[in-house]
Structure 1
Amino acid sequence: MPGEEAVSVEAGPGHLLVRLDREHNTLDNALVYGVLSALDTAEADPRCAALVIHARGPVFCSGMPLRADAELPAGWADDAAQPPPWHLFQRLTQAPVVTVAVVEGAASGGGVGLAAACDLVVAGAAARFRLTELLLGLVPAMALPFIARRTGPQVARRLALTCGEISQEEAVPIGLADFATGDPAPLLRRLLVSLRRLDRDAVGALKSYLRTAAPVPDGLASVARDLLVQRMQAPSVAERLRTLHQEGLLG
């Protein structure tokens, strides 16, 4: 709906709850910067141990916004800065608070990357994960490094090539989720109690150490941006996007 806020934020004991509030929760700048702002708030509060991302409706996050004219959102093709989704994913991996994604519906494309960038992923009974980019002639360049960090490179390759849907039951064994539950609320409450006991400086040190142990190559953000721009400019991609919009399959 026009004017609808992308995210809402609620403070709880020792945590910040970030709710994605729109119907499809596309990974546009409003959503990206809304979550980044919540991260800033969480990091500035020494009493905050965790930041939880969940969605209001049946779609956790549907990935990057796809327009009929194949135009990218502002700043995504900017040579002078990291693309906003990459910046968000990286911040989620670096924040000194524990980042938790609660996925109770569909996560597709960059939405899988959003969940995968979090330290912990809770999958509800209706959770579904799917990389759909290759069906459009695109490449999941922004999301894939953060997915591979969880699943390993070969599973990430399979997810990208098959474009298959991963259920809750499948997500945990391959590392895409850490917990599977019919009702995430009780599990989340217990998890947040446990996370409040942690030393936040130690959490930050652990996450810094893990980044050093398994670093993302320097310059990969620029490579991902350039590949996205290149694919979006391909005539076949533009034609597919126009067709999908005409058929009402893209918002």
Structure 2
Amino acid sequence: MQITTDARGVARVLMNRPEVFNAFNEAMIAELTDAFDQLGQDPAVRVIVLSGQGKAFSAGADIQWMKRAAEATQDWNLADARKFAAMLDGLARCPKPTLAQVHGVALGGGVGLTLACDLAIASSKAQFAVSEARFGILPSVIGPYVVNAVGPRQARRLALTASRIGAQEALQLGLVQQVVEAEALDAAVQTCITELLAGGPQAQAEIKRLMAQLEVGPITPQVRELTAQTIARVRTGDEARDGFAAFLAKQPAPWVPPTSTQD
């Protein structure tokens, strides 16, 4: 795992096991858990980009890890699965905007990593598969993320067939939000970073916190009250006052890094 942070507060988490296509095992799960916990708490970090070294984003579970799991007890497997679930949850709940930069393949748990991020931009050459059934298991821990992204019917299709799909179909289904040519991937990520850096960091944390509590369905009195309470609290904060003042003065907001306009 390689972690770097630039002067703008853009942290890059690079999965660095290219020899196994960035497949993850117990050690990598622990490293990812720690990385997103620490970066999420670091006030200097504004945006987190997750990517993979080599030819793949992530091929999912390391086959040697799965072999150990198949030979271990159910209690060991439960503890192990809970660690994986906690890692994805920590990524999904990270208060900073997270962006998956996907090239090559994202298979099984690699799809889970993609979906746990707020945003995902993929190369046109990227491929995706919810591939667990091919190994006689199921996409259990990543299942809720798949269902939330594509809906239950498409999630069942992807999981039951374990078929590999291209980037354009992934875009249509909602696995990613943008697809660009391979040579334009870095530039597209930089454009997205610039857009994210223009937003208030506390506002973005509040957006993530609020939207995690909302579901598709009726807008109940409880939901209305939640949204009213949230905006009333945020509007009276320092960041909102600074943001409105900067807008009226036709100046950049104080949280916008001077170099962000150069990306």
Question: What TM-score comes out, normalization by structure 2 length?
Answer: 0.73
1:29 aligned partner:
26
- The equivalent of 2:51 in structure 1 is 54
31-40 or 112-121: which moved more?
Answer: 31-40
Q: Matches of 1:140 and 1:164 in 2, distance apart?
A: 13
CA contact (8 A) 1:59 1:105 kept: yes
1:89 is displaced (CA, Å) by: 1.1
Code of the aligned partner of 1:9: I
What code does the residue aligned with 1:10 have? T
The answer to which of 131-140 and 114-123 deviates more is: 131-140
Identity %: 27
- Cα shift at 1:82: 6.5
Q: Distance in 1 between matches of 2:107 and 2:113?
A: 10
Query: Equivalences for 1:240-251 in 2 at 5 Å?
Result: none
Deviation at 1:106, TM superposition (A): 0.7
CA displacement at 1:188 relative to structure 2: 0.9
- SS of residue matched to 1:90: helix
CA distance in structure 1 between the partners assigned to 2:179 and 2:156 by the alignment: 23
Question: What SS does the aligned partner of 2:213 have?
Answer: helix
Matched, 1:17 2:12: yes
1:76 Cα deviation after fit: 4.5
Instruction: Kindly indicate whether structure 1 or structure 2 has the higher relative contact order, using CA contacts under 8 Å at least 6 residues apart.
Output: 1
SS of the residue aligned with 1:61? coil
CA displacement at 1:180 relative to structure 2: 0.3
User: Is contact 1:27–1:85 with CA below 8 Å preserved after alignment?
Assistant: no
Contact 2:81/2:141 (CA < 8 Å) preserved in 1? no
Matching residue of 1:212: 213
5+ residue gaps, structure 2, are 217-263
Greater helix share, 1 or 2? 2
User: What do you get for the CA RMSD once the two structures are aligned?
Assistant: 2.1
Q: Give the C-alpha shift of residue 95 in structure 1.
A: 1.0
Structure 1 gap ranges (5+): 1-6, 216-251
Number of aligned positions between the proteins: 207
Separation in 2, partners of 1:172, 1:14: 28
The TM-score normalised by the length of structure 1 is 0.76
Partner of 2:109: 110
Alignment partners' CA distance in 2, 1:52 and 1:72: 34
Q: What letter matches 2:214 in structure 1? A: A
TM superposition shift of 1:115: 0.7
